[in-house]
Structure 1
Amino acid sequence: MDGKTFGIYCCGPTVYGPAHIGNFRSFVLQDVLRRVLEVGGMRTRHVRNITDVDDKTIRDSQAAGKALGDFTAQWTERFHEDCRKLNCLPPHVEPSAVAHLPEQIAMIESLIEKGHAYQSEDGSVYF
């Protein structure tokens, strides 16, 4: 909150299949919070990411014989359709993981260089 705008960052779905009621609990709560703040006169900036690349999306796209982007696009659209059915407001910004891979890699490299993260023998990075 910067005094004028209440920022809401929420983790969005990993799009490798349909979201379930447990996932939507979080998204509906985000929507309720935003609406309450806005009715109370606050400006909001709602950001919710889409995780469109991870082990599950890669695994399931390969199993389906589809390109990763095509595979995740279908599930992203399904997620948006389900949100509309629940009458959830769309976020103001919805970045996807794939669109920001260079920035993520640079951030991880910076954390390692500063000693705030380390790489394990299998290549995983922990911080």
Structure 2
Amino acid sequence: MKTYTTMLATPRLTQPVIDSLRLDTTPERLGERVRASSPLNTHEINITVTDSSPTRAAAIATALAAELGKVAQREKPTTDLPVSTSVSVESAATTPGEPRAVRWPLHALAGALAGFAIGLGLAVLRGRSNDNAGSRVPVGQ
């Protein structure tokens, strides 16, 4: 999986996608906007494309997945090896229905509570360290 995830942003895959979608970019620039990951202990590859148009980003991700399937099919191991490799699209790329607003009041409240808890914890620790320092008796007086 790691080989396939690193291959997605290379000109070998991005150039055919640029040609098929008639994009006005270079393979290297498109590769910079592509991120691929494979969750641990799975045979999945998640493709993320950053673009100013959500529809175009979904089209690029879908085209990259199709191109990866073609490359994997062309480069199958010889039949004398007991390895079976295939690449297929499990779910097509989608665009979000609408932008989601940030729930800033909730985040502000959570930040304020976390800051209060940290401050209270530090005050308690400092108070305890001062209590222990005051109970010391000087030796030799």
Q: Scaled by the length of structure 1, what TM-score is found? A: 0.31
* Structure of greater Rg: 2
Q: Scaled by the length of structure 2, what TM-score is found? A: 0.29
Higher strand share: 1
Q: For CA contacts below 8 A with separation 6 or more, give which structure has more relative contact order.
A: 1
